[in-house]
Chains A and B, each alone.
Chain A
Amino acid sequence: DAGVTQSPTHLIKTRGQQVTLRCSPISGHKSVSWYQQVLGQGPQFIFQYYEKEERGRGNFPDRFSARQFPNYSSELNVNALLLGDSALYLCASSLDGTGSYEQYFGPGTRLTVT
């Protein structure tokens, strides 16, 4: 079975630009969460979506937005990129949105903002 997939794997953007990252969950999983991870830190929670609805939001500015599609795949959008947005962006899927089930992570998208 395919695991969580993310695209693209690497991305280089300029300050002020916008970026869209994509994620496909494990088949049968209905929840997708997004995380930002900078070097030396644990993943920081950005959003969780379950059944196409936002179920949780971390402490990130409104420049960050996301959505989930009927096939449970998801996109994360970041507007007006800042140098500090450079990080590994991880997507994780789980069976439901309760947090009781394990999350499985994709390989991540490494974003560099110059």
Chain B
Amino acid sequence: RKEVEQDPGPFNVPEGATVAFNCTYSNSASQSFFWYRQDCRKEPKLLMSVYSSGNEDGRFTAQLNRASQYISLLIRDSKLSDSATYLCVVNRSGGSYIPTFGRGTSLIVHP
């Protein structure tokens, strides 16, 4: 089993739709979590950190479920410009620092 797993998609949704992605992780020692967005042939850009209590940034909401070992990203009112690959990253430390990215979930928002 991979340490961090994401459904690669693609998720194909109309403008205005709500879409949710999950990212599961296997190492219970994981300590910090982030979502990144990557456009084609560009570098990943930080979207948001994921806090235990959940956090929201405009149309984006991130949640962490430690018991079930997954994080989620909810996008409301999808825009055409949200089309990208969404990467989760799980960091575990305690000795050495090991960040693990998922393979990414592709989102296509169409008119």
Contacts and interface: CB of A to CB of B under 8 A. Distances in A.
Do A and B make up one complex? Answer: yes
Interface of A: 33, 35, 40-45, 48, 50, 55-58, 90, 97-100, 102-108
Given A44-B101, A102-B49, 9 more contacts: A33-B99, A40-B103, A42-B4, A42-B104, A45-B98, A57-B96, A90-B43, A99-B31, A100-B31
Interface of B: 4, 6, 8, 31-32, 34, 42-46, 49, 87, 89, 91-93, 96-104
Contact of A103 (B46, B103, B104): B46
Contact of B44 (A48, A56, A98, A105): A105
Nearest to B106: A40
B94 to A, nearest CB: 10
A36 to B, nearest CB: 11
B71 to A, nearest CB: 14
A43 B44 contact: yes
A99 B93 CA distance: 7
A58 B98 contact: yes
Contacts of A44: 101
